[in-house]
Amino acid sequence: MSDMYTLQGPTEWRTNRSVLSYSSLKVLERCPLQWQLERSRYGDFERFPSKPSEATEVGTIVHEVLEVLFKALKEVGFPKRRSPAFREVLKTLKPLTFIEKKLTHLQTTLQNHPRGRGVVIRKTPHEVFRECARLFQEHYQHAELRSLSSQAHRALQKNTTKEQNPRRDRASSLVHRLQRERSLSEVYLEHPNIPICGYVDVIYKEGEEVVIADYKTGKVHDTHKEQVMLYCLLWWS
């Protein structure tokens, strides 16, 4: 048989499952062997390189844009849309230019990816920008409602400490941060007793309620609700 059809097994099998994310749990549920094969070492690769897809790669860019944008707007107290402060943030960040650079870098990365051959990114920068705008508008309206006064914002800047290691966050400190800041992004949560973890896109206060949101750029799927419910469990555990 030709070497072309010879499959190479892992050079080092993954055995430690440590803490599992939602996606890892779904793979384990579907096929434990697949989970192990995907996460084992193959020579220089720490894990089996997954085949890139346009939806996944573009979704990652959308997440990055929203994270950067929300953090910048949070620094100035979540100003009203079309306000001078809001416009200044957009002028500084230049989201469309940011997206164009990310897409250009992505094309280069795919060319060098061991399984990236044939993967084409058809989305234009303006299409990705519109997707970012859609998701942004859905969530920023809540941020506007909880916009901080200038005095409260100065107190926030004074009291907020930069997070060094999300894994060291404890539930109590996260609750205190949420009470103080009203909104958290890219929050790492881990159950104290069960080896389950997750990164939540955004958590914010709406009145006395805590809202946990996860950005999705594809079609609505039942697993989306299941994933957010898991994040809720991690938040309240």
Q: What is the pLDDT of residues 133-160, one digit of tens each?
A: 998 988 787 655 555 433 334 433 444 4
The DSSP call for residue 207 is T
Owning domain of residue 199: 54-236
pLDDT band at 61 (very low <50, low <70, confident <90, very high): very high
- Examine residue 47 and state whether it is found in any structural domain, yes or no: no
- Examine residue 185 and state whether it is found in any structural domain, yes or no: yes
- Examine residue 17 and state whether it is found in any structural domain, yes or no: no
Q: Taking the model in full, what pTM does it have? A: 0.68
- Examine residue 20 and state whether it is found in any structural domain, yes or no: no
In this structure, which amino acid lies at residue 206? E
Query: Could you give the angle at the alpha carbon of 179 between the alpha carbons of 178 and 182, nearest 5°?
Result: 60
- Examine residue 109 and state whether it is found in any structural domain, yes or no: yes
- 46 contacts: CB under 8 Å, gap ≥ 6: none
- Examine residue 22 and state whether it is found in any structural domain, yes or no: no
The reported pLDDT for the residue numbered 5 is 46
Is the pLDDT assigned to residue 197 strictly greater than 90?
yes
The reported pLDDT for the residue numbered 60 is 92
3-state secondary structure 104-150: HHHHHHHHHCCCCCCCCCCCCHHHHHHHHHHHHHHHHHHHHHCCCCH
The reported pLDDT for the residue numbered 159 is 41
The reported pLDDT for the residue numbered 143 is 59
Is the pLDDT assigned to residue 62 strictly greater than 90?
yes
Phi, psi for residue 157 in degrees, rounded to 5: -60, -35
H/E element holding 205? strand 197-206
Q: What whole-number percentage of the chain has pLDDT above 90?
A: 35
Domain count, the chain: 1
Q: If DSSP codes are grouped into helix, strand and coil, which group holds residue 103?
A: helix
Q: What is the pLDDT of residues 99-114, one digit of tens each?
A: 999 999 999 989 888 8
Q: If DSSP codes are grouped into helix, strand and coil, which group holds residue 33?
A: helix
Smallest CA-to-CA distance from 157 within 75, 50, 46 is with 75
- Examine residue 77 and state whether it is found in any structural domain, yes or no: yes
- Examine residue 218 and state whether it is found in any structural domain, yes or no: yes
